[in-house]
Chain A
Amino acid sequence: QQPVQSPQAVILREGEDAVINCSSSKALYSVHWYRQKHGEAPVFLMILLKGGEQKGHDKISASFNEKKQQSSLYLTASQLSYSGTYFCGTENTGNQFYFGTGTSLTVIP
C-alpha cells in the first residue's frame, strides 16, 4: 500500500527540469508532497485533492491523475536549494495515509 516513487534518485544541473512520479495501487483521495533536506525534518510543499486542480508553488508544481492513481511533481529551472529527498504521501479512499519510497534529488552547479 506504500506508494512507489520514480525515479529513486536523480542528479540535475542548475536550471534543468525534473519530474518525480508517485504511483499507488489503491484509489486515492489526496496526494501530499514533502521535501526533506539532509539532516532536517520533512517540509510540506503542497496537497492535491481528488477533483482538485493542479497546484503550484514557485517553480514547483504537481498534478494528480485520479484515474491512474498517480501524481507527478514538476520542478522547473532547478536551483541548488531544491536538493533533498522528495516524498509523496497518499491518502487512499480507505482513509489510510502512506508515504512513498522517496526520491533523492541532487542539483549541482
Chain B
Amino acid sequence: DAKTTQPTSMDCAEGRAANLPCNHSTISGNEYVYWYRQIHSQGPQYIIHGLKNNETNEMASLIITEDRKSSTLILPHATLRDTAVYYCIVRVRSNDYKLSFGAGTTVTVRA
C-alpha cells in the first residue's frame, strides 16, 4: 500500500472551510484514497473515498490531483464538532479490504 503523509496538526476557524492535505506520491493506479476521522474517545467514522475523480457527500468533498499524488479533504463549514483526528489512507480494494490507520492530522476547530 502507498504511504501517506499528513501534517501533524492544524487549526481552523469555526464556520470557515477546513482544507486537509494528504500526500501519497507513490500511489498506484488501482489504489483508492479513503478518509476517516476519530472524535475523541469514539470509534473512527468513515467520511469519503475516491479513485481519481473528485467526490462530494453530505460530510465533505475530496479533491484528488490529476497525477493522483496528493489529495485534499474539504470540510465546507467547520464546526466545533469537527474537532478530531483525520486519517488519510491509501488502499487497493482487494478481497480483504484491510485498512491501515497512521497517525493522522489533529484538527482543532476554534470559535
A and B pair up: no
Chain B interface residues toward A at CB < 8 A: none
